Structure 1
Amino acid sequence: LYAATVATWPGAGRGTELDHLTYNNQHGRRHLFLINNILTFVTSYSKTQKMTGKALLIPRGIDPRLARVFIITLNYVYYAAQVITHQLGDDCSSSAYSKYIFVRRGTPLNTDAMTQILRSFTNDHFRCQFGVRDWRHLMKFVLRHMADISLDQDDDDAQDADRAPINSLFGHGQRIADTVYGIEADSLTDLTQPDVARAHRYGIVYQKALGLWADFSVDSLGLPNDEKSTPSNQTSLIVAPLDAASRLHIARDLEDVLDTRLPAFGDLISSTLSRVLYHHIPNLSTSLPPLLPSSTSVNVHPSRLKCLQRLFRSKSFKSPEQATIFEYILQNLRSVFGILGTGGGKSLMFYGPPLIEPYGITIVVSPFVSLVEEQFSTAQMHSIPVSMWPNDKIDFDTVRLIIVPAHEAGMELFVNFVTATVRIKKLRRIIYDEAHQILMSGYRNCYDNLWRIAVQNVPLHFLSATLLPHSVAAIAHAARLQPDTFCVIRATTVRPNLRYVVEDFSAEKDNTLVMDRIASICRSTYSKMDEKDRILVYCSSYNECDALRALLGYPVYKSKIDGRLDPSTNASRRNAISADWRAGNPRALIATTGFGNGIDHAHVRLVVTLNPYHASDAAQQTGRAGRDDCEATCYLFNTCRHPVPSNAADDHGGIGLLRMLYTTNDCVRLCLGNFDERAYSCVAHGSANAVLCSRCEVLEVCGLSLFAY
């Protein structure tokens, strides 16, 4: 709000003028009025009071759309914040929300905070940082050269011969303008102090130059002419101060739109700044901002692209869904369920905020030890101040990202840590990665305390590549999230460049045939690969891993490399095996499920998955392949009889989908695509040019003869 205000009102106040502005009369004279039907800030310059005995009053009107944001914020958002903070025992914050206009995290903005905010916004748009003083210099030139507001005297009935139109908006005279700001003064003469009406005129001229006030002319507002302006008749134009009566009137007018308008505040302010600073964006009408047509409509700020460039050296998002999820997470207004296919860029959601936001901690909860270690090392690689929980030496002033294993997140110690971090106002959000595991039997106990974390009033976000539609409601229920407090953004699960091959060996008496088949495929692929290419073989048990290692000689990545070793040594051995595989020594690896979720290597040409527990595992493991967008092959082998789930609503992993995968001849993409709201076969992907799966290849060879009768 502060950045949008100082960017769109005429002139620029000193830090001492804007420090601790109030909106009611409970603690001295307020600074916010409705004058000439324009929401107007009236600030005072105390230095003038010392010299003349009275403070110089400086009025500045704001754009009507921004005025609506202020009215709703002060009457509803601040009122709610006042009540909530009082209930939590934070009377200082409650008092701040009851009187001050600009409040951040329960503290009124002072000059230092204003400078920090301005520097953040101007750095995004101008590639350099402006503080309050610098912004005043910039605004002086904008008013003179962009809005073309004259410096010449325009009032014959001058009351103060030392003031020019622009100078008065800044609260100083010609001498200061010449010596401090360096504005050209070749035509300057003795100028006067304008009254409120003239200040509004200058403000509207400036705002129209920015593309605001698009459908209004200055004359249509009924502002008094300059020559008729006197302090007495200006006073009569002050209407409806923000007292109890006007609050009730406003409430009746706005009550039916609050639910839809509040989540859009962040977008409105962001887009207002964009229109100001990126002047070429088309003008909008002066009506209320349009309702969001769906939960996925959001104005993604252009500055987010800089984060992509730094993290991934990419100039664009991988998908509109990735961009939308990232923007919602940064806005921090509601919880988000983000479903992006494997390789869809979920890691941006927790590496990005520490690089963009000037303060606050992001916590990431991950279900696999291998994934936690991977995320920790990646954050360090990007120079993000990161810590791994549990850690009793966390520095709250410097750490920006905390990675937490799921089994630790279920402990009382972690819940207490979250509570303490919220109380000192350091925690921004908690992100649950691989969120589908919340509902899996093997991990459910790790998330028993989810509801206790949810009540801390910190946004919770849930990321996954394989979250069934009915599972979203189950997680929301476990976290006690109301339907209007979260949104769901879902992208497709399966990628078009993957060739799926399904082979069922469940009729065989032993695993000899399937092991020989896997060994043959791996040897054939390995002999044809480039140096950068890799192979991953997933097994569901240690026995399967050992059998394939005996056949192929590949190293095995599993939770316990050697049962005789202590946990720390096992972890070191696991990391060494993972690092060797990434380095190509060797270029193939056998692993259990724990290595599958979240591991990212661009050039995996072959993935073999043997007996996945459910369709979620199958999609996660095959999703490791082809992240460089080149063609890759995924084999799914089965030697088991899969039961029919007794209750489809409790089947969050997709056991029924896995049974369908092995017992029908449907396109593989149709089966795995059930994680999406819509599933399409290989051919139906059309322009995506999907590589045919093994079943669609059979249909292509047989032609239409199979469907003749």
Structure 2
Amino acid sequence: MSWIFKGTIRAEQPTGFMEELVDTVWTVVPSINSVKPAQFGKIFGVSSSLVGPVTPVIPLSPSQLAMQALQQFTRDPSPSWKSPFQQLWITAVLEADQDLLVVARTGGGKSLAYLLPPLVEPTQLSVVIQPLKALGHETMKILESHHIEGFYVDQALKQDIPHNTRVLVASVEAASQIGFFTAVSKLKPRRFIIDEAHQYLDDVTYRNYMAGVARLRGITGQFVFMTGSFSPANHTQLLQGIFNMVQVKTFREPTVRPELLWEVKDHQLGSAEGLLHLVAATWQSECKDDSSRGMVFVQSHAGVEALYQQLERMKIPVTYYHAGLDVDLAKSNANQWRVTGRCVMVGTCAFGTGINYPHVRFVIILGIPNRGNINQVFQQAGRAGRDGKLAKIILVSQKKSPWDPDEFTQTLLSPGTCPVRAFSTVLDESPSSCLSLDVSRKCSVCSVIGGRVMGLVVDDTNKTTDGMDEAGLMELDSSATPRARRALGVAPVTQFG
């Protein structure tokens, strides 16, 4: 239980002279019995001494604690949550009496799970385990920008964790080692946040570390699994199969973001260089101001560097990133992309998770995903439009796909498929499409169907969309043809007898 305390402190200058007398001070401390006068200086961040009684005024509920953290984080006395969903799961994180699985859409503020608690839990430690180095370095920058004491462990714990650390960030490799387990168990962390939790099932690289990370369950503390895309069908495999957890409270929201415009281009390219003109044209049309950025994802290191060189010859601001780069060069290139106006990043999936730059106007991905790597592609797409403005996602096919095509691949490549519908059918409990969501702009399939195109024939019995609005199309009865129903993402009607 956390409490609001009312007391009187007096702040002193470093010289020891009295500066002023503060009559009333409100703050949050973790426990009544744990607060001693000498600790107030640490809590307030000033040299101070207690000259009056400390009296508990009112216990804070988890929801009040969450709001106070948000007020401090935003420096706004009357902040608003992005959604009731966000408020609910963040409150549950601070309540810390249940393990959680949180599936929140990309750009939905999942980082608040480790940014807000330190603001109202001044003596507690949160451990954040992340899969990629780029993501770990990004997290450390964010913590620093908010003056939160963080510490990053990359491969092995080679030094003591500073006593004032409030957020311990660790790579999956580091977190899987017995030395990490031993060191962290002594610190008695409040919670463990397993970031990008889908990676434990999607990427074979991380399967080598799963047992070591799961060993952390032996340390008392809340476990919070975070991801932006995760099929409901995989819950049991992750939670019970890997982490041996049964009682986990789940928070889910639809993963599709309305500001993203999806396109699928069946170009059957032979190499990454084949993207050159598409990237150049998209950059020209979408990156119109210095804050705008673009991202292109290619599966091979050689393809990344070849496309980067061609774009550079065209005088387009560009840099590149993949796991084979020297650490210093990788950091330099990532920073170059952030600070260079209208810059395009050509990278592999090593740059595709957790990058939070807000003004990415387009993401182009070479390769059409299958069900096995749907999360990877969806995460890459999720880098776009984090400022809430329209952004383009373009998937481009190859002659020789890096992934074995399956039914999901064929669905995406079908001319009558809404990409939003295809992804949400796998990733969400209730599928949606451009027609059922308040999207910024509909895909080419849904814009034709819902756009009241005069005289458009949708089957051989001359049923047309002439005069039909979106609501009418969403209420197609069983007489609608299979082609019309497929385009809308409506299940075909089975006839009996």
The reply to whether TM is greater than 0.5 is yes
Q: Which SS does the other structure have where 1:302 is aligned?
A: helix
What residue in structure 2 maps to residue 636 of structure 1?
395
What residue in structure 1 maps to residue 442 of structure 2?
692
**Bigger CA drift: 573-582 or 657-666?**
657-666
Query: Take 1:512 and 1:134, find their aligned partners in 2: how far apart are those partners?
Result: 66
Evaluate the alpha carbon distance shift between residue 586 and residue 576 of structure 1 in structure 2; reply closer, same or farther with a 3 A threshold. farther
What residue in structure 1 maps to residue 222 of structure 2?
459
What residue in structure 1 maps to residue 477 of structure 2?
none
User: Please, which of 574, 584, 589 is the counterpart of residue 340 of structure 2?
Assistant: 584
What residue in structure 1 maps to residue 255 of structure 2?
493
Query: Take 2:68 and 2:242, find their aligned partners in 1: how far apart are those partners?
Result: 33
Q: Deviations for 1:468-495, whole angstroms, at most 9, x for unmatched residues?
A: 1122211111344443x31000112111
Verify: 1:429 aligned to 2:188, yes or no: no
What residue in structure 1 maps to residue 423 of structure 2?
672
- Residues 233-312 of structure 1: pairs in structure 2 closer than 5 A: 273=59, 301-312=63-74
AA paired with 1:463? Answer: M
Query: Take 2:172 and 2:34, find their aligned partners in 1: how far apart are those partners?
Result: 39
What residue in structure 1 maps to residue 123 of structure 2?
359
Evaluate the alpha carbon distance shift between residue 120 and residue 377 of structure 1 in structure 2; reply closer, same or farther with a 3 A threshold. closer
Evaluate the alpha carbon distance shift between residue 577 and residue 2 of structure 1 in structure 2; reply closer, same or farther with a 3 A threshold. closer
What residue in structure 1 maps to residue 365 of structure 2?
609
Query: Take 2:361 and 2:342, find their aligned partners in 1: how far apart are those partners?
Result: 14
Verify: 1:525 aligned to 2:285, yes or no: yes
- Residues 178-217 of structure 1: pairs in structure 2 closer than 5 A: none
- Residues 37-436 of structure 1: pairs in structure 2 closer than 5 A: 113=35, 133-135=53-55, 273=59, 301-312=63-74, 315-389=79-153, 390-421=156-187, 426-436=188-198
- Residues 508-587 of structure 1: pairs in structure 2 closer than 5 A: 510-511=270-271, 514-525=274-285, 529-553=288-312, 554-561=318-325, 570-585=326-341, 587=343
Query: Take 2:74 and 2:2, find their aligned partners in 1: how far apart are those partners?
Result: 32
Query: Take 2:331 and 2:40, find their aligned partners in 1: how far apart are those partners?
Result: 44
Evaluate the alpha carbon distance shift between residue 420 and residue 595 of structure 1 in structure 2; reply closer, same or farther with a 3 A threshold. same
Query: Take 1:478 and 1:493, find their aligned partners in 2: how far apart are those partners?
Result: 24
Residues 118 and 132 of structure 1 are in contact (CA less than 8 Å); yes or no, is this contact kept in structure 2? no
AA paired with 2:267? Answer: F
Evaluate the alpha carbon distance shift between residue 419 and residue 118 of structure 1 in structure 2; reply closer, same or farther with a 3 A threshold. closer
Evaluate the alpha carbon distance shift between residue 579 and residue 643 of structure 1 in structure 2; reply closer, same or farther with a 3 A threshold. closer
AA paired with 1:399? Answer: T
Q: Deviations for 1:118-169, whole angstroms, at most 9, x for unmatched residues?
A: 9999x9xxxxx99982538x8xxxxxxxxxxxxxxxxxxxxxxxxxxxxxxx
How far apart are residue 115 of structure 1 and its match?
A: 7.7
Q: Deviations for 1:416-468, whole angstroms, at most 9, x for unmatched residues?
A: 223333xxxx3111111100001122321121223321132322111000111
AA paired with 1:454? Answer: R
Evaluate the alpha carbon distance shift between residue 317 and residue 475 of structure 1 in structure 2; reply closer, same or farther with a 3 A threshold. same
Residues 466 and 620 of structure 1 are in contact (CA less than 8 Å); yes or no, is this contact kept in structure 2? yes
How far apart are residue 534 of structure 1 and its match?
A: 0.9
How far apart are residue 546 of structure 1 and its match?
A: 2.4
- Residues 471-486 of structure 1: pairs in structure 2 closer than 5 A: 471-483=234-246, 485-486=247-248
Evaluate the alpha carbon distance shift between residue 701 and residue 411 of structure 1 in structure 2; reply closer, same or farther with a 3 A threshold. farther
Query: Take 2:106 and 2:193, find their aligned partners in 1: how far apart are those partners?
Result: 17
What residue in structure 2 maps to residue 52 of structure 1?
none
Q: Which SS does the other structure have where 1:556 is aligned?
A: strand
What residue in structure 1 maps to residue 457 of structure 2?
705
- Residues 8-27 of structure 1: pairs in structure 2 closer than 5 A: none
Q: Which SS does the other structure have where 1:341 is aligned?
A: coil
Residues 300 and 324 of structure 1 are in contact (CA less than 8 Å); yes or no, is this contact kept in structure 2? no
AA paired with 1:345? Answer: G
How far apart are residue 393 of structure 1 and its match?
A: 3.3
Which of the pair has more CA radius of gyration? Answer: 1
Residues 545 and 591 of structure 1 are in contact (CA less than 8 Å); yes or no, is this contact kept in structure 2? yes
Return the structure number with greater strand share.
Answer: 2
How far apart are residue 660 of structure 1 and its match?
A: 2.7
Residues 343 and 627 of structure 1 are in contact (CA less than 8 Å); yes or no, is this contact kept in structure 2? yes
User: Normalised by the size of structure 2, how large is the TM-score?
Assistant: 0.75
What residue in structure 2 maps to residue 450 of structure 1?
213
Residues 118 and 131 of structure 1 are in contact (CA less than 8 Å); yes or no, is this contact kept in structure 2? no
Q: Which SS does the other structure have where 1:338 is aligned?
A: strand
Q: Deviations for 1:203-238, whole angstroms, at most 9, x for unmatched residues?
A: xxxxxxxxxxxxxxxxxxxxxxxxxxxxxxxxxxxx
Query: Take 1:365 and 1:317, find their aligned partners in 2: how far apart are those partners?
Result: 25
Q: Which SS does the other structure have where 1:555 is aligned?
A: strand
Identity %: 23
Residues 519 and 551 of structure 1 are in contact (CA less than 8 Å); yes or no, is this contact kept in structure 2? no
Evaluate the alpha carbon distance shift between residue 495 and residue 360 of structure 1 in structure 2; reply closer, same or farther with a 3 A threshold. same
Q: Which SS does the other structure have where 2:255 is aligned?
A: coil
How far apart are residue 304 of structure 1 and its match?
A: 2.3
Evaluate the alpha carbon distance shift between residue 111 and residue 591 of structure 1 in structure 2; reply closer, same or farther with a 3 A threshold. closer
User: Please, which of 503, 507, 520 is the counterpart of residue 265 of structure 2?
Assistant: 503
Query: Take 1:523 and 1:110, find their aligned partners in 2: how far apart are those partners?
Result: 57
Query: Take 1:492 and 1:559, find their aligned partners in 2: how far apart are those partners?
Result: 31
Query: Take 1:312 and 1:402, find their aligned partners in 2: how far apart are those partners?
Result: 22
Residues 258 and 439 of structure 2 are in contact (CA less than 8 Å); yes or no, is this contact kept in structure 1? yes
How far apart are residue 556 of structure 1 and its match?
A: 1.0
How far apart are residue 2 of structure 1 and its match?
A: 8.8
Evaluate the alpha carbon distance shift between residue 118 and residue 412 of structure 1 in structure 2; reply closer, same or farther with a 3 A threshold. closer
Q: Which SS does the other structure have where 1:378 is aligned?
A: helix
How far apart are residue 560 of structure 1 and its match?
A: 2.3
What residue in structure 2 maps to residue 255 of structure 1?
none
User: Please, which of 594, 598, 602 is the counterpart of residue 354 of structure 2?
Assistant: 598
Q: Deviations for 1:268-313, whole angstroms, at most 9, x for unmatched residues?
A: xxxx846xxxxxxxxxxxxxxxxxxxxxxxx752342343344356
Evaluate the alpha carbon distance shift between residue 588 and residue 629 of structure 1 in structure 2; reply closer, same or farther with a 3 A threshold. same
Aligned length: 417
Query: Take 1:2 and 1:418, find their aligned partners in 2: how far apart are those partners?
Result: 24
How far apart are residue 321 of structure 1 and its match?
A: 2.0
What residue in structure 1 maps to residue 490 of structure 2?
none
How far apart are residue 360 of structure 1 and its match?
A: 1.9
Query: Take 1:560 and 1:302, find their aligned partners in 2: how far apart are those partners?
Result: 46
Query: Take 1:587 and 1:344, find their aligned partners in 2: how far apart are those partners?
Result: 24
AA paired with 2:180? Answer: F
User: Normalised by the size of structure 1, how large is the TM-score?
Assistant: 0.54
How far apart are residue 501 of structure 1 and its match?
A: 0.7
Residues 556 and 590 of structure 1 are in contact (CA less than 8 Å); yes or no, is this contact kept in structure 2? yes
Residues 342 and 465 of structure 1 are in contact (CA less than 8 Å); yes or no, is this contact kept in structure 2? yes
Query: Take 2:135 and 2:126, find their aligned partners in 1: how far apart are those partners?
Result: 17
AA paired with 1:693? Answer: C
Runs of 5+ consecutive residues of structure 2 not aligned to the other structure: 7-28, 313-317, 464-480, 482-497
Deviating above 4 A after TM superposition, structure 1's stretches of 4 or more consecutive aligned residues are 1-4, 109-112, 114-121, 129-132, 479-482, 701-704
Q: Which SS does the other structure have where 1:515 is aligned?
A: helix
Residues 502 and 694 of structure 1 are in contact (CA less than 8 Å); yes or no, is this contact kept in structure 2? no
Query: Take 2:434 and 2:452, find their aligned partners in 1: how far apart are those partners?
Result: 15
